[in-house]
Structure 1
Amino acid sequence: MRSRKPWPGEKPVLLGMARGLLMLVPLALLSWPLATAARGEPLEDTLARVFPLAARQLEATASTLPETEYPSETLPDGTWDTTDADSFTSGFLPGSFWALYEYTGAPIWRTRAERWQAGLESQKDRTDDQDLGFILFTSFGNAYRLTGQESYRRILLTAASSLSQRYDARMGLIRSRGDLDDEDEFEVIIDSMMNIELLFWAARNGGRRELYDMAHQHALSVLESHVRADGSTYQTVNFDPRTRMLREQGKEQGCRWNTTWSRGQAWAVYGFTVAYRETKDPRMLRAARLTADYFIRHLPSDEVPYWDFQAPNIPKEPRDSSAAAATASALVELSQLETRPERALRYREAARDILRSLASPAYLDSNRRTSAILLHGTAFRPHDRFDTGLIYGDYFFLEALLRYSKLPERLTSREPQQREALLSAAPSTGEAPRNRERLFRFEEGILTPEATGVDRIVGPVTLVSEGALVGNGSVRIPDTFPAFLEEHFTDTTDFSTSFYLRVESLPSENTDLVSFLKGRTPLGNLFLRRNGTLFARNGPFEVGPRSNPMEEGELYRISLSQKRESGSFAILEASLARGDEAFECPFASSRVRLSTPRADRLRLGATTGPLDLVIDDVRLDTALP
């Protein structure tokens, strides 16, 4: 072991981790550019470069942030955007300090970890959110593992008890969001798999046996509801809590309902690996394998996934280094739990390759461009939060490196073997139904279809005197109520509309902007909120996340569509684009259960309140019988 200078605040200690495989460079070299992490470079050398850099970045964060602020993602200028203690990201900074303490033994990192986690203790009593594992197990969980301090154990047991109150025995699931007594909706997100480790741990460390049973059953239920046959995952699933009937499977941070958000897939690989470690249930091993294999076989050549595995503009889409880091950490552990040697080798080598790529100049911030350790994270691509540093990406990167460093030397020094070739099993979408398109023109206050058909108009409508937004004509729906356009058509299960919209002034209350109906019964519709965001609804239930906010007086394009899928389900999607920009990923996209599948009319305008609008170039598509 080569000697080195102590890091700031560190007492001289012998760093003998991984049987002497990790070597630190002198602190004076931390500002030197990093060498390219070539595929042939031993990961042990890569590790020796990364931890000093991580120490430099975390040292700077500790010296600039108050102890009551917690970093989440970096801003355009490279500084941290911060949150309060109640954010799911708040535990990752103290968790990263604990990782540096584990690696170095330096008291300064323990001191910093304890200072920042002190403000998180109040979260242990929360029952209004599922993220106590993210917040407290990354901080106090590591603290107890490394120090054995009794007060930390008690905090974690209290947190596990609080989280357990969100478990519903009828559903066999932990409710991710909403009130505990909500009898209308029961939402579960794949992220929940990252919080059940707290329950498993508590059951082994003085908590009730029921905590183990809750975590185990939740994992089994999520396997049934969130994991597709090919191993990909839904992020969001909603149930009817009175009947446990599936109501919605959809996306939130991914692209579409049937694509795969890469960080959600990482949460699944990690969570099912934990569940197998704790239960030794072969169903959990199969789930971990299934989700891990999907992740590995959909990686691009540099082993760091795009933010969504089926994003529409690959290879121009943003990457998500945080998804890579979390999966690498899970794969290291899965390789040690795997019962089949050839699989264990594949998972270990996949973790190694991902870590090498993350440790290369392409992803490691060696030039102090940001406050983060890793570059190119994606927090929420549909809301334009991408190509940023993420504190949870940094945490899982350090955790993965530590885990890999502890593998037996005979494993880490093994010559690389060719990874098993796997074929992508992309699901077939089948043949699209034939459609007819009708373009409506607004002329002299009348909604006129180019094709023959019944048209009706309801409420006062006037032309925009200053001219059209685009095309041949546009209509202004004034700030009166009711005032909307209505078009009748032959009832059908597959339909869509798109149009240009300019909102002259935002509404004072949520307003129904566009609706498909069967008679007077609303099916899919879009509401405009006071802050300019749109949200989709399936009957009385909100579907998916909300859009980016629209600005008063700006021109936008909007679309809303429903396509019959199977049984009583349909695909409901809504998109928003500025001006003539192409629609990309819809802001809402879900497979939903329908109360009434067929529509026979379209309404545009202020159907539930006054709204001053300009609408143009309305297109209605309905499937042919």
Structure 2
Amino acid sequence: MKLFITGFLGALLWCGCKSSSLNADTGLQYCLRQASKTLTKLEDTVNYPRSIASGSKEWRYVNYRDWTSGFWPGILWYAYAYSKDEKWKDAADKYSKGLFPLVDSSAIDHDLGFQLYCSVGNGYLLTKNSSYKRVLLRAADSLAGLYNPKVGTILSWPRNVPGTDWPLRHNTIMDNMINLELLFWASKNGGSQKLYDIAVNHALVTMHNQFRPDYSSFHVVVYDTATGKKIKAITHQGYNDNSLWARGQAWAIYGYTMVYRETKDLRFLDFAQKVTDIYLERLPKDLIPYWDFDDPAIPNVTRDASAAAVVASALLELSTLLTDKGKAEKYYDKAVGMLMELSSERYQSRNVNDAFLLHSTGHKPNGSEVDASIIYADYYYIEAILRLKNISSKQ
């Protein structure tokens, strides 16, 4: 999130794709046109767009408590970062403030980072609004309240989710890696050192317990609440407990890249590359993953554009953190290739609906948001293009 809030000058070519005439500004202007359609339809409401079903043109809206609520204001902040148009700033402020009540009670799960750092966090980076800072610090303390020191991780779901055996057991999901950024930020902006330590411990314990020998990830690990011992590894959204769920691996790539950025601990940089390499090895030629790499019905299964967008954004950042120029160039080129495919008529929504992207998969085992347009795919897509633009401006 920190790499692209400044430096948006010039019409810069999408590097690494010689045959393309697209440039970053073209991609960003497309995103702004699509977001304008959604903003117009929202009128004076404070509803949060979440997804558009395949074959539909209408957003499904959720309230501020939904785990995806932070992505729409985050998109608005990115639109403002690029355009400097006050209309985006005003809308982003409105929808960010709509999330403030999330800190008026204890955290109900790990998603406070998604909800508040992607929205209010982006807003604070751009505006330094003191009210945003206060909310973020309260959110970080609330999220830290889910930390179990015996286990060494943050509890993801303090509720009854199949297979997790809560409250007798402590569960941690791969998605939680993204929410550590809120804790890192807070520890450096007036919060306790304890927040930093919790984030590091969570990343280390997850690294040791939530990956197979080939560095592919399990979605969920269940621990004994009292002893901290690992009990089992399962899935909630993947094909089965031993399969590689695409977006879960995407969260790992993004999460460990971010943890290295915040800590400069080389263990995390090495691990970020390992979890990246297994993902890249298993991708189809067009670089957009099937929803789960081990679904036996491949190739006749749905893709997940959201996973591709998350990874593209992560790899662009990871490419800037490496001293190995060959590896950095490989990651950069792969990220650009992903963005080029996502920007094609096969994946951009264009006139199909008001989202940015088609063909994301939310929760296939539940039959939820399958082959849909989903707001977090759009968020990481615009983030990735902004990262690309900023990197290009420094070359």
| TM over 0.5, shorter chain | yes
Aligned match of 2:128: 148
Is residue 3 of structure 2 the alignment partner of residue 20 of structure 1? Answer: no
Aligned match of 2:163: none
RMSD: 2.0
Of residues 262, 280, 284, the one that matches 2:268 is 284
3-state SS of 2:91 partner: helix
Is residue 49 of structure 2 the alignment partner of residue 68 of structure 1? Answer: no
Aligned match of 2:27: 50
Instruction: Give CA deviations for 1:294-315 in whole Å, capped at 9, x if unaligned.
Output: 1111111111111001111111
Q: In structure 1, how many angstroms separate the alpha carbons of the residues matched to 2:280 and 2:39?
A: 35
Is residue 162 of structure 2 the alignment partner of residue 185 of structure 1? Answer: no
3-state SS of 2:339 partner: helix
Q: How does 1:423-438 map to 2 (within 5 A)?
A: none
Q: In structure 2, how many angstroms separate the alpha carbons of the residues matched to 1:159 and 1:356?
A: 36
State the one-letter code of the partner of 1:88: W
Is residue 372 of structure 2 the alignment partner of residue 374 of structure 1? Answer: no
State the one-letter code of the partner of 1:54: C
Q: How does 1:380-529 map to 2 (within 5 A)?
A: 380-384=363-367, 385-409=369-393, 411=395
Q: In structure 1, how many angstroms separate the alpha carbons of the residues matched to 2:123 and 2:214?
A: 38
Aligned match of 1:101: 80
Is residue 157 of structure 2 the alignment partner of residue 174 of structure 1? Answer: no
Q: Could you tell me the percent identity over the aligned residues? A: 38
Is residue 66 of structure 2 the alignment partner of residue 82 of structure 1? Answer: no
Q: In structure 1, how many angstroms separate the alpha carbons of the residues matched to 2:245 and 2:110?
A: 20
Task: Answer whether contact 1:371 1:389 (CA < 8 A) is retained.
Answer: no
TM-score (norm 1): 0.59
Q: Post-superposition shift, 1:339?
A: 2.7
Instruction: Give CA deviations for 1:538-594 in whole Å, capped at 9, x if unaligned.
Output: xxxxxxxxxxxxxxxxxxxxxxxxxxxxxxxxxxxxxxxxxxxxxxxxxxxxxxxxx
Instruction: Give CA deviations for 1:450-480 in whole Å, capped at 9, x if unaligned.
Output: xxxxxxxxxxxxxxxxxxxxxxxxxxxxxxx
Is residue 342 of structure 2 the alignment partner of residue 365 of structure 1? Answer: no
Aligned match of 2:111: 131
Q: Post-superposition shift, 1:401?
A: 0.4
Structure with a larger share of its residues in strand: 1
Q: In structure 2, how many angstroms separate the alpha carbons of the residues matched to 1:328 and 1:290?
A: 16
Structure label with greater radius of gyration = 1
3-state SS of 2:391 partner: coil
Aligned match of 1:110: 89
Higher relative contact order (CA 8 A, sep 6+): 2
TM-score (norm 2): 0.92
Is residue 212 of structure 2 the alignment partner of residue 233 of structure 1? Answer: no
Q: Post-superposition shift, 1:185?
A: 1.0
Task: Answer whether contact 1:18 1:408 (CA < 8 A) is retained.
Answer: no
Unmatched 5+ stretches in structure 2: 1-5, 160-165
Q: In structure 1, how many angstroms separate the alpha carbons of the residues matched to 2:129 and 2:96?
A: 14
Q: In structure 2, how many angstroms separate the alpha carbons of the residues matched to 1:73 and 1:331?
A: 25
Task: Answer whether contact 2:12 2:393 (CA < 8 A) is retained.
Answer: no
Q: In structure 2, how many angstroms separate the alpha carbons of the residues matched to 1:49 and 1:262?
A: 28
Instruction: Give CA deviations for 1:317-365 in whole Å, capped at 9, x if unaligned.
Output: 1010000001111111111111322211111111111111111111111
State the one-letter code of the partner of 2:45: E
Task: Answer whether contact 2:11 2:23 (CA < 8 A) is retained.
Answer: no
Residue correspondences, number: 380
Aligned match of 2:144: 164
Structure with a larger share of its residues in helix: 2
Aligned match of 1:431: none
Task: Answer whether contact 1:273 1:288 (CA < 8 A) is retained.
Answer: yes
Task: Answer whether contact 1:124 1:136 (CA < 8 A) is retained.
Answer: no
Q: In structure 2, how many angstroms separate the alpha carbons of the residues matched to 1:218 and 1:331?
A: 22
Instruction: Give CA deviations for 1:380-432 in whole Å, capped at 9, x if unaligned.
Output: 11222311101000000000000111114575xxxxxxxxxxxxxxxxxxxxx
Q: Post-superposition shift, 1:283?
A: 1.4
State the one-letter code of the partner of 2:333: E
3-state SS of 1:20 partner: coil
Q: Post-superposition shift, 1:104?
A: 0.5
